[in-house]
């Protein structure tokens, strides 16, 4: 795999000089590394800017290139990759010109961040507490059986933090939360007293949430119109 500089050159010149056979190979690489669908995110698969040899490009640089080249299907993930580094990265003035986002792209990225955060908070709350505010747990000793008690609230707080993180970016909604921690060789739920059944239910629901968030990415970043 070439480095990003060469890859960028290939994209530009195969378009400018009308070399469709080679360009289609490049586009295939991009489709693989920046999949449009959730199903494209296969396991053990190289993704994002990490596919390039040599130094990994800044995600802003990749985003700029994809916008310039009008690579529509790769844009949602390219936006996501850039936004997950946070506002400092999106707006860093020290970056060179090719990694500096034009105002229009920056607006889309920042708007997307806010929408992702909203989605993350709403969906995570529903996921943990369910719509009626109670948890359908059948385990007699699970903290979630008494969802308003202080122990349960503390446990929920831990779980919620694990899902949404402290970055307030909203980009954790697309990451798989780790509900267990290793305590002296024993795996325990990060929410004290929460039973395995609850964790499994959250894991399953969060998998659905990730898919939902992925599907929403084009709308999140204003790419559908």
Partner 1 sequence: MIPASSTTHSPSTSIATLSDFTIADVSDEESQIDPTILDASEDELPIDPMTVAQDKTFYLEDGNVEVLCGNTLFRVHTSVLSFHSPALRRMFAQASLATAESPNGCPRIASSDTSTDFTTLLKMIYLPGFVALLERCYVLPLTSICLQIP
- Judged by the rule CB under 8 A, the positions of this chain that interact with partner 1 are 1-2, 5-6, 9-10, 12-13, 16-19, 22, 25-26, 29, 32, 41-51, 55-58, 61, 81, 84-89, 92, 94-99, 165-167, 169, 171-172, 174-178, 203, 207, 210
CB of 156 to partner 1, least distance (A): 19
Nearer to partner 1, 64 or 143 (CB): 64
Residue 172 is given by DSSP the state G
- Cβ 26 to partner 1, closest distance in Å? 6
Compute the least distance from the CB of residue 48 to partner 1, in Å. Answer: 4
* Among the listed residues 92, 90, 129, the one whose alpha carbon sits nearest the alpha carbon of residue 106: 90
DSSP state letters, 110-168: HHHHHHHHHHHHHHHHHHHH-TTS------TT-GGGSTTSHHHHHHHHHHHHHHH-SS-
Which of 85, 31, 26, 35 is CA-nearest to residue 56? 85
Between 151 and 187, CB nearer to partner 1: 187
Closer to partner 1 at the Cβ: 100 or 144? 100
Question: Quick one: 88 or 138, whose CB is closer to partner 1?
Answer: 88
CA 118 to each of CA 17, 112, 170, 171: distance values in angstroms, whole numbers, following the listed order: 44, 10, 7, 10
Check: CB of residue 84 under 8 Å from CB of residue 76.
no
The least CB distance from residue 170 to partner 1, in Å, is: 12
Rank residues 29 and 146 by Cβ distance to partner 1 and give the closer one.
29
Residue 204's nearest CA partner among 223, 186, 187, 179 is 179
Among residues 145 and 206, whose Cβ is nearest to partner 1?
206
- C-alpha–C-alpha distance, residues 29 and 41, integer Å: 14
Least Å distance between CB 75 and partner 1? 16
How many whole angstroms separate alpha carbon 62 and alpha carbon 194?
42
* Shortest reach from residue 141's CB to partner 1, in Å: 26
Round to whole Å and give the CA distance between 2 and 213. 31
């Amino acid at each position: 795999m070439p480095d990003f500089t060469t890859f960028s050159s290939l994209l530009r010149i195969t378009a400018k000089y009308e070399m469709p056979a080679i360009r289609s190979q490049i586009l295939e690489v991009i489709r693989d590394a920046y999949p449009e669908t959730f199903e494209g995110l296969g396991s053990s698969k190289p993704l994002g800017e990490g596919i390039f040899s040599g130094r990994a490009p800044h995600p802003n640089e990749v985003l700029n290139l994809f916008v310039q080249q009008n690579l529509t299907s790769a844009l949602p993930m390219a936006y996501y990759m850039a936004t997950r580094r946070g506002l400092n990265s999106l707006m860093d003035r020290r970056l060179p010109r090719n990694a500096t986002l034009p105002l229009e792209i920056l607006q889309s990225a920042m708007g997307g961040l806010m929408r992702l955060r909203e989605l993350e908070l709403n969906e995570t709350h529903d996921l943990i507490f369910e719509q009626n505010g109670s948890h359908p747990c059948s385990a007699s000793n699970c903290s979630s059986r008494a969802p308003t008690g202080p122990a349960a609230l503390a446990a929920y707080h831990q779980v919620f933090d694990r899902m949404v993180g402290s970055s307030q970016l909203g980009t954790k909604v697309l990451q798989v939360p780790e509900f267990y921690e290793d305590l002296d060789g024993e795996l325990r739920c990060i929410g004290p007293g929460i039973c395995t059944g609850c964790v499994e239910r959250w894991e399953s629901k969060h998998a659905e949430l990730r898919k939902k968030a992925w599907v929403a990415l084009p709308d999140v970043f204003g790419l559908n119109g």
